[in-house]
Structure 1
């Protein structure tokens, strides 16, 4: 069977694509085509109908390919890519021991390369949008924006607004002034969308938490805050405020549709109600829970209660299909087994929250996340004739359980072909990886990273020595 040709997909003009199937919100549909023009889906409909409507366009047949929305990573830290493996085997709250010193050791070049490397991995894994929760590197955030833009990925770019250490009384308004400028800075950027960020509630004054909520709501943007992620953070909030982190944010009026709470793994029934009642969104990060968390967010309960949530990698690994599998798998292990729920979302739940659900929580639901006329042409071509997917009985379930990034033929962002079989189409991916490896050794070498556990091979030798 003929395989798609990248040359036929690289045209800057209108494209009429006729894949084997198109993934719509109601599921995969055969016999559809899409017209891509000006970075948008101009039309979605039956192949014959679009061929008649656009006689000047020659259809590009894509047999055996599923055209589906690109994945949306609702929580990432792009400038932490040099230290991703430093989190392995480490206990929770490693940000103080690993991420703060690591990002503090970045200069402008290394921050750019680290962010572009993370964007590269994300694109390879089928993510067309990533939400960066703000860098602690001492560089202008435009460095991160440039890296995302040059890689060709859509980026929700957080500006860190922490001020509690420098201004405990909350009298310095420069943080909010900077936040306002940041929100305006990317108003006309097609790929970069401004966001505000606070590391954890205790990192910002009450005035700043209120102010960032107001500014984001007015701008149609989001504030990203890590909430109820670790036991230690919950306990600190109880000691300081007599309230859990989410309860505290509610008490000062900071909850609402503009808030994207990262992780939210430790939630009481009352806090689930607060999320649902206020329209506050959550980034469910199942791989982060497995690698370095205290708990798994109750995502099936969120879905049932109507809580808005997307899926995030937290910079763990950039594979959208494996993220959806982790989302379902974590729910089955932590909640499904105990209750006899063998479905745990029936597959489609996790695909939906990895695409249009993620776009919604980032404030981009009217721009991306769905294959529909008028929305940005951020999509994937997925080979569904691989051994894992060729004999399909229930494609959404199969994509969740058996999909992986090796099956992604092409990645499009804003209507442009960005990746072809895992390689960038207009820049040198392998060269970036080589440069990143050089810089990472230098950055990690000078960063005051403290690990609680040794590397795996050192641990092996210690165990062998003990056994002897």
Structure 2
């Protein structure tokens, strides 16, 4: 008799929501994992007979979902969490954030801040983070240490900082990091011009050329505030999205962050070029920037993922909250209770984010051949019961505190709610050190 094939890991769950196919919830199923990849999803009873597992994890009160994809973040800014609240965007930047960065930004600042951010995200079920910040090599080190899948921005801005002197210097240093890390299986890259109002035409054209040459996505803030649009009309005679179109940046590889203030022409351009949008509802509300028309963009067929933005403006890196905020905000702004249902919000936080990054062949849903980036969410507390529809619970009842286990490429990163790669003692020490430095 032929022995059953061996797998590294068999995860048995009360429910599995694979995201693909849509609106699918599997009960009493198991995921088989070999060499960091999903090889099968099948009923638990069949899995026990079909496979010999080196390790079996039984999640009898859990929902198993793909790892969440944070489509926009500034991880190192976790060190500035709550540094300045109740300010609009430009005052927040000019009076608090940019001065603090001028004084403190360094390789150590970014590595420590990114370490805190990676720990927070993994504990909250986020397995992939699309980041934009200075010193990307330090972010890569932090993400790699904790085993978070990272997409790092080759950040470009015109004005000098502690990191670089001008746009050419930013690109040169970012491309050096790209070369150093390009073969790491968990580290990916984007070209990340900060925003149309901080990057000149010549630099944007070079970014477009590099994106084609290196086959990288472009990650850029767009139309976050009305003042940004008014300034562009004054300085360039056109809206920012129109300017980006003219300079050759719009396309399927563009991830436009925020996209709050859009007119019909803006939406037509984004649709024509099949751009992706990173919707950051909590940050947009907290900075009083407005509410992005996410439901309308989805209706037009645009790919819309979810981002937390940085912890300095959110103030947490929590995609469970972003899923609920996105769903409720869409219902409120459209007057339609059916707008952005729970299953759509979950897809935005998983597969749509992966698609925007060009990684949907690898992550974002649970299917054979994809990486085993997985998140288990406990549904056992009395205040979370009864549970009639697990997808609805994920968006409207449960939260990051219910995440029990997380795997990235089949390797455990969180187990029983405990982060495996770093201690709370080290994280607390790091946070307190920087709190004292920034307070001074």
- With the length of structure 2 as denominator, give the TM-score of the two structures: 0.90
Tell whether the 8 Å contact from 1:23 to 1:67 is kept in structure 2 after alignment: yes
Q: Summarize the Cα distance change of 1:421–1:444 in structure 2 as closer, same or farther, 3 Å threshold.
A: farther
Q: Summarize the Cα distance change of 1:240–1:430 in structure 2 as closer, same or farther, 3 Å threshold.
A: same
Determine the structure 1 residue equivalent to 2:67.
Answer: 70
Is structure 2 residue 325 aligned with structure 1 residue 330? Answer: no
Is structure 2 residue 148 aligned with structure 1 residue 153? Answer: yes
Give the CA deviation at 1:206: 1.8
In 2: Cα distance, 1:395 partner to 1:412 partner: 20
Tell whether the 8 Å contact from 1:224 to 1:259 is kept in structure 2 after alignment: yes
Determine the structure 2 residue equivalent to 1:16.
Answer: 10
Determine the structure 1 residue equivalent to 2:4.
Answer: none
Give the CA deviation at 1:58: 6.2
In 1: Cα distance, 2:77 partner to 2:170 partner: 23
In 2: Cα distance, 1:156 partner to 1:287 partner: 22
Counterpart mapping for 1:24-173 below 5 A = 24-25=18-19, 26=22, 27-55=24-52, 57=54, 59-93=56-90, 94-104=92-102, 105-135=104-134, 140-163=135-158
Q: Summarize the Cα distance change of 1:54–1:32 in structure 2 as closer, same or farther, 3 Å threshold.
A: same
Q: Summarize the Cα distance change of 1:29–1:256 in structure 2 as closer, same or farther, 3 Å threshold.
A: same
In 2: Cα distance, 1:28 partner to 1:389 partner: 18
Give the CA deviation at 1:375: 1.2
Q: Summarize the Cα distance change of 1:198–1:333 in structure 2 as closer, same or farther, 3 Å threshold.
A: same
How far does the alpha carbon of each residue in 1:1-58 deviate from its partner, in whole angstroms, 9 at most, with x for none? xxxxxxxxxxxx7011111111122322113211122222122222344334323556
In 2: Cα distance, 1:234 partner to 1:443 partner: 33
Q: What is the SS of the residue equivalent to 1:31? A: strand
In 2: Cα distance, 1:429 partner to 1:415 partner: 23
Tell whether the 8 Å contact from 1:359 to 1:369 is kept in structure 2 after alignment: yes
How far does the alpha carbon of each residue in 1:431-466 deviate from its partner, in whole angstroms, 9 at most, with x for none? 212222122221343xxxxxxxxxxxxxxxxxxxxx
Give the CA deviation at 1:416: 1.4
In 1: Cα distance, 2:288 partner to 2:209 partner: 31
Q: What is the SS of the residue equivalent to 1:131? A: strand
Q: What is the SS of the residue equivalent to 1:443? A: helix
Determine the structure 1 residue equivalent to 2:394.
Answer: 399
Give the CA deviation at 1:108: 2.7
Counterpart mapping for 1:99-248 below 5 A = 99-104=97-102, 105-135=104-134, 140-163=135-158, 176-248=171-243
Candidates 219, 240, 251, aligned match of 2:246: 251
Give the CA deviation at 1:410: 0.9
Say which is worse superposed, 236-245 or 419-428, in terms of deviation.
419-428
Residue-pair matches, total: 421
In 1: Cα distance, 2:105 partner to 2:421 partner: 26
Q: Summarize the Cα distance change of 1:125–1:132 in structure 2 as closer, same or farther, 3 Å threshold.
A: same
Tell whether the 8 Å contact from 1:217 to 1:258 is kept in structure 2 after alignment: no
Q: What is the SS of the residue equivalent to 1:313? A: coil
Tell whether the 8 Å contact from 2:67 to 2:126 is kept in structure 1 after alignment: yes
Q: What is the SS of the residue equivalent to 1:364? A: coil
Tell whether the 8 Å contact from 2:193 to 2:207 is kept in structure 1 after alignment: no
Q: Summarize the Cα distance change of 1:22–1:386 in structure 2 as closer, same or farther, 3 Å threshold.
A: same
Tell whether the 8 Å contact from 1:179 to 1:212 is kept in structure 2 after alignment: no
> How well do the aligned residues superpose, as a CA RMSD in angstroms?
2.2
Moved over 6 A (4+): none
